[in-house]
Amino acid sequence: MAGLFDKQADIYLDARPNYPSEWFSKLAGLTDHHVLAWDAATGNGQAALAVADHYERVIATDISESQLKFATTHPKIDYRHTPSSMTDDELVELIGGENSVDLITVAQAVHWFDLPRFYAVAKRVLRKPGGIIAVWGYNDVVVSPEFDKVQYRFHAQTLPYWKYPNIQHVFDAYGALPFPFESVGMGSEGRPLMLEMPKTTSFEGILRMFKSWSAIVTAREKGVELLPESLIKELETAWGGKDLIRNVVYKAFMIVGKVCV
């Protein structure tokens, strides 16, 4: 995943939906202790900030230095760059050591990971018993019949420029994502928990979300502009004008588990 979102890190900062606070309250209620949490692939720290409301300390890591430059500082959060050259032992030590982490969160990112390696590290650092790992993502935003018709046509044009097979996990709502942890009642391997994220946004907000997609940058590097002015104007008209504020709903999915002991 190194560098995949570096070129649009500033756009990514404010383009994505907000994760509901009740998600984090429920996750915190599942852990026996609230001392240390690890937010992997933290990006700009969006999930880490919410986790910090429930844990004494949060280690927030990312492979992208560009993303971390836009992370929001917080007294409980320790942001760390974790280059791909870092060994598993170094990563375990950085996070807090074996059997030390109460909650691991991965928001809209685990599909990019080397899953066997990440899960091996997660099992080492999670507190046993009592530690919880939660991964989630989202793959659709529902606006209105008029707008959705245009945006789905636009999305279809982006398909050749995503990174496969990783992105397929998102398109499949994590339905085929390997997840070798014991279920705690909030989704399981092959049966993710389906959720919704409401958001109030402007047309500029939804457009910035589209622009933050890695497929847009990949296509542009190949000489293809997936968001030409003509399409932006069509999207704006279907939205109802650039000044209209709408309530939209992002479709999300989550799997939560613990280490079998």
- Calculate the alpha carbon distances from 58 to 14, 67, 101, 102, 218 in Å: 22, 17, 9, 10, 32
What does the pLDDT read at residue 260? 85
Residue 69 lies in a domain: yes
In tens, the pLDDT along 46-105 reads 999 999 999 999 999 999 999 899 999 999 999 999 999 999 999 999 999 999 999 999
CA 57 – CA 36 distance, rounded (Å):
5
pLDDT of residue 11: 40
Closest by CA to 235, choosing from 156, 141, 154, 140, is: 154
**pLDDT tens by residue, 190-246:** 999 999 999 999 999 999 999 989 999 999 999 999 999 999 999 999 999 999 999
Q: What angle do CA 16, 11, 198 make, to 5 degrees?
A: 15
Domain assignment present for residue 75? The answer is: yes
Question: Does residue 7 have a pLDDT over 70?
Answer: no
Domain assignment present for residue 170? The answer is yes
Alpha-carbon span 164 to 179, nearest angstrom? 19
Quote the CA–CA distance of 13 and 228 in Å, as a whole number: 22
Q: Tell me if 229 is assigned to some domain.
A: no
Share of the chain above pLDDT 90, in %: 91
Task: Pinpoint the alpha helices (H) of the chain.
Answer: 9-15, 21-30, 46-51, 65-68, 88-95, 115-125, 145-158, 166-171, 203-211, 214-221, 229-239
Identify whether 51 is part of a domain.
Answer: yes
pTM of this structure: 0.91
Q: Name, in order, each residue with C-beta under 8 angstroms of 108's C-beta and a sequence gap of 6 or more.
A: 16, 136, 137, 138, 170
Place of tokens 């982006």: 158
Please give the tally of structural domains in the chain: 1
CA angle 61, 167, 253 (to 5 degrees): 75
Asked if the structure places residue 204 within a domain, the reply is no
Q: Which domain holds residue 82?
A: 1-141+165-199+251-258
Q: What CATH number does residue 71 fall under?
A: 3.40.50.150
Tokens representing 85?
């050259």
User: Quick check: is 191 in a domain?
Assistant: yes
Confidence of residue 261 (pLDDT cuts 50, 70, 90): confident
Residue 158 is assigned to a structural domain of this protein:
no
Distance of CA 120 to the CA centre of its chain: 20
Mean pLDDT throughout 173-197? 97
**Contacting residues for 106 by C-beta, under 8 A, at least 6 apart:** 39, 40, 41, 113, 133, 134, 135, 136
Q: What is the mean pLDDT of residues 147-166?
A: 96
> CA–CA separation, 47 vs 65, rounded Å?
17
Alpha carbon of 141 to those of 147, 206, 220: distances in Å? 10, 9, 23
